[in-house]
Amino acid sequence: MRDFAQDHRWLSINTATVRKQHGVEQSLPDILEACAQRGIRAVSPWRDQVAAAGLDNISRLVKTHGLELSGYCRGGMFPAVDAAGVRAAADDNRRAVDEACALNAACLVLVVGGLPGALTGKALHKDIARSRSQVHDGIAALLEYAKANHMPLAIEPLHPMYAADRACINTLEHALDVCDALDPASTGALGVAVDVYHVWWDPKLQAQIARAGKERLLAFHVCDWLTPTTDLLNDRGMMGDGVIDIPKIRDWVEAQGFAGYSEVEIFSTSNWWQRGSGEVLDTCIARHKTVV
Amino acid sequence: MRDFAQDHRWLSINTATVRKQHGVEQSLPDILEACAQRGIRAVSPWRDQVAAAGLDNISRLVKTHGLELSGYCRGGMFPAVDAAGVRAAADDNRRAVDEACALNAACLVLVVGGLPGALTGKALHKDIARSRSQVHDGIAALLEYAKANHMPLAIEPLHPMYAADRACINTLEHALDVCDALDPASTGALGVAVDVYHVWWDPKLQAQIARAGKERLLAFHVCDWLTPTTDLLNDRGMMGDGVIDIPKIRDWVEAQGFAGYSEVEIFSTSNWWQRGSGEVLDTCIARHKTVV
C-alpha cells in the first residue's frame, strides 16, 4: 500500500466537500484556486458547478492550476416512466460524457437512479427490478458513446439507503454484474467507483474488490460513517471521525493495482459546511496523511 | 399467496408500533388489551416492555386474551471487547430464551449487534469482521441452549445503515450463511426474520428467500420505506405509504411455504407515535387487508 504520510500527492477533493460553506454556494473557480494553493493536484467537480461557471472557463482554470480530474460528477439517473424520459436521460448522459472529455476527467461517475419520482418524494412506481433493467439498458447505450469518446464510465454503487431515490445499484457485486454483462472483456471502458461510505458494511467487499481487479477500479472515494448519523444524505463524516477502517479498504483496492487518487467527498450540512473552505481543505490534507 | 383482504387473522402487531404515543410510554397490558379488542390474534412484545409489566403478568394476560406471539424482541447484541462482555451477552441471551419460552413465542428474534460502543456513539474499534466472528460464536453457543428449550432463533438481517450500531448481519444472504454453518440440516432451530424494511432493496432478495425455504423463514415483518426518510431509526412508514412492493415480497415468502403472521413493526416518532393507539391499530388492520 502506498505511503500517504509524507505528502498529499494522491489526494483529490470532490468539490461538493466545500461547496456550501455557511449555507452559501461557493463558486467552483474559488474552490479550484483554494485547492491549487494547497498543492492539491486533483479535484472532482459537479456538473451544476461547472455549468454555473461555464465549461470553457473551468476547462481553462483546470489547466492553469495544473489540476487533474479524478472523476466527473455525474452521469446516471437512467430510470423513467416513458420513452421520452428514457431519451432525455440518454441525451443528458451523452452531454455529461462530452463535458467529462472537455475537462479531461479520468472517468464519468454514474449514480444510476432509483424509482422515478422518488427523489422528490413521489415515486411513480415500486418496481425496482424495472428500474434496474432500465439502468442496464441505459448504461449499455451510453457505453457505446463513451467508448467512442474514450471516456471510462464508473458505476458507483450507492448505500442501500439510497436505493429508492438515488441509485438502485447498491452493492459492488451488483455493479460488477453489470460490468460483466456489458464489458465482459474488462477493457477499462466500464468499471466502478468504490466509495467507502457506501460499501464499508458489505461482508463481501474484499472479495468483490478482488473480483473487480485493476481494470474495473476506476475511482476510490473516502469520508467516514458517523454514529449516530443524523441525516441520510448530508451527515457524512471526515475521515477518522467515524467507524470505517479506511486503510484496510484502501489496502484491498491497491492490492489490485489501483494507483489513482483518494478522493474526499463529504456532504455535511451541520459540521463541515459550517466551516471555512480553508479549514476544511487543510483538515482533508491532514487526515489524508494520517487515517486514510 | 393467502388472501388478506377479507380479515386480519394473519396480522400481528409488534408492540413497538404503539409504544410511545404522544411521547408517553404505553403499558404493555394496555397494548395487549387494545389488540385483543380488535380481534388481533398475535403480537410481538419487547423485553423491556415485558420486564416493566412483569413476565408472569404478561404471560397470564397473553393467555387471557388468547394471543399468540409471532416472535419475541429480542436477543442478540453479541459483540463485546472482552471476555466479560461476551459472557454477559451470553447470559442475557439465555434469559431472553427463557422469557420467550415462558411466553410461548414462535421464535426469539436476534438483532445481532455491531461494533461495541457504537450505539452510544463511541465505537471501541472498527473491526467489523471481528464483530461478525463474535456474532457467529455467540449464536452457536446460544443455539445449543435454545434447542434444548425448543425455542427457534430468528436472525434478523438489519438494513446496512445499522451495520455499525445495531447489527453487522445486513443481508439475507449473510444471515443464511450463518444458518448454513450452524444448522446445516435446516432443523428449524435456526432461521431468519425477513423484515421488508431491511431487505427490500436487495437485488438478491428473491433468490435468498428461495434459498431460505420454509424451515428457515421464521418471521415476516412489514412496514414501509418513506421518501424522504428523515431519521435513520424512527421514520418508518405505514404499509402503503412508501416504496416497498410488499405483496411481491410476501408472495416470495409464501411461495416457500411460510404461513405465519405478517407482523407490523413501525417506529415513527413524528407521525404514528403522535396518534392514539386505536387509530394506529385500526390503520394497521386496514392496510393489512389492502396493501400487504
> What is the distance between the alpha carbons of residues B7 and B288, in angstroms, rounded to a whole number?
9
Q: Are B159 and A159 in contact (CB < 8 Å)?
A: no
A178 CB neighbours in chain B (<8 A) are: none
Note the pLDDT of residue A107: 98
Residues in contact with B258: Cβ distance below 8 Å, sequence separation at least 6, in sequence order: B214, B217, B220
B79 CB neighbours in chain A (<8 A) are: none
Q: Closest Cα partner for A116 from A47, A178, A166, A171?
A: A166
pLDDT tens digits, residue range A183-233?
999 999 999 999 999 999 999 999 999 999 999 999 999 999 999 999 999
A128 CB neighbours in chain B (<8 A) are: 200-201, 245
> What is the distance between the alpha carbons of residues B16 and B71, in angstroms, rounded to a whole number?
13
- Which chain B residue lies closest to A177 (C-alpha atoms)? B203
- How wide is the angle at C-alpha B208 spanned by C-alphas B207 and B214, nearest 5°? 105
pLDDT tens digits, residue range B71-102?
999 999 999 999 999 999 999 999 999 999 99
Q: How is residue A11 written as a grid cell?
A: 489526494
**Over residues B214-228, mean pLDDT:** 98
- Which chain A residue lies closest to B118 (C-alpha atoms)? A227
DSSP result, A194-244: EEHHHHTT-TTHHHHHHHHHHHHEEEEEE-B--SS---TTTBPBPTTSSS-
Residues of B with CB under 8 A from a CB of A: 115, 118-119, 121, 123, 126-128, 132, 159-161, 163-165, 168, 170-171, 174, 200-203, 225, 227-230, 232, 242-245
Alpha helices by DSSP H, listed for A6-164, are 28-37, 47-53, 55-65, 83-102, 128-148
**What's the mean pLDDT when you consider all of chain B?**
98
Nearest Cα of chain B lies from the Cα of A102 at a distance, in angstroms, of 35
Note the pLDDT of residue B125: 98
Q: Are B203 and A161 in contact (CB < 8 Å)?
A: no
Q: What sign has the CA pseudo-torsion B251, B253, B256, B262?
A: negative
- Which chain A residue lies closest to B129 (C-alpha atoms)? A203
Nearest Cα of chain B lies from the Cα of A246 at a distance, in angstroms, of 9
Whether B263 contacts B232, CB under 8 Å:
no
Q: Is the ipTM of this complex over 0.95?
A: yes
pLDDT tens digits, residue range A4-58?
999 999 999 999 999 999 999 999 999 999 999 999 999 999 999 999 999 999 9
- Which chain B residue lies closest to A234 (C-alpha atoms)? B230
Which residues does residue A153 pair with via DSSP β-bridges, in sequence order? A108, A190
Residues in contact with B78: Cβ distance below 8 Å, sequence separation at least 6, in sequence order: B86, B89, B90, B93, B112, B113, B134, B135, B137, B138, B139
Note the pLDDT of residue A232: 97
pLDDT tens digits, residue range B255-276?
999 999 999 999 999 999 999 9
**Residue A260 binned pLDDT confidence (cut-offs 50, 70, 90):** very high
Residues in contact with A19: Cβ distance below 8 Å, sequence separation at least 6, in sequence order: A25, A26, A31, A46, A49, A273
HEC readout, B32-72: HHHHHHCCCCEEECEHHHHHHHCHHHHHHHHHHCCCEECCE
Q: Between A161, A229, A245, which is nearest B126 by CB?
A: A245
Nearest Cα of chain A lies from the Cα of B149 at a distance, in angstroms, of 31
> What is the distance between the alpha carbons of residues B147 and A230, in angstroms, rounded to a whole number?
40
Note the pLDDT of residue A285: 98
**What's the mean pLDDT when you consider all of chain A?**
98
A234 CB neighbours in chain B (<8 A) are: none
B242 CB neighbours in chain A (<8 A) are: 164
Note the pLDDT of residue B257: 98
Tell me chain B's radius of gyration from C-alpha atoms: 18
Size of interface A-B (CB pairs under 8 A): 87
Phi-psi region of A5 (alpha: psi -120 to 50; beta: other; left: phi over 0): alpha
User: What architecture (CATH level 2) is domain A11-290?
Assistant: Alpha-Beta Barrel (3.20)
